[in-house]
Amino acid sequence: MVTTLDAHIVQTPGIAGGQPRIAGHRITVGQVAVWHELMGWSADEIATAYSLSLGDVYAALAYYFDHQDAIELAMNQTEQFVQDLRKATPSKLNQRG
């Protein structure tokens, strides 16, 4: 039996860092959560801006609230990775003078 969330949310190792995402898209559940929770976008605004169905957006939000700790941990790890990478490889644009 396929549940509603299974039809909307997928998690594939190697794609989007293995983070849960909307099926058929590269948009992660974490991105949808940030747009909704931190940026204050409505589900309708997210769906329109990214050509998603409302079902996709609401499924992503439901998944986020059911797995909030794990998703926030993954987002924090990604942010830390980016910061470490920036420190290890300084921008050549900033080196111009």
Q: Is the pLDDT of residue 24 over 70?
A: yes
| pLDDT score at 30 | 94
**Model confidence pTM above 0.75:** yes
Higher-pLDDT residue of 68, 81: 68
- Which residues are registered as beta bridge partners of 10? 21
Task: Give the helix ranges, DSSP H, for the chain.
Answer: 4-8, 29-33, 43-49, 54-66, 68-88, 92-95
pLDDT band with cut points at 50, 70 and 90 for residue 28: very high
**Domain boundaries defined on the chain:** 4-91
Average pLDDT of the chain, as a whole number: 87
pLDDT single digits (tens) 51-61:
999 999 999 99
CB 59 within 8 A of CB 9: yes
The tokens describing 6, both together, are: 């299974």
Name which residue leads in pLDDT, 44 or 70. 44
CATH entry, 4-91, from 3.90.230.10, 3.10.129.10, 2.60.40.10, 1.10.10.10 = 1.10.10.10
CA–CA gap between residue 60 and residue 34 (Å, rounded):
11
61 Cα distance to chain centroid? 11
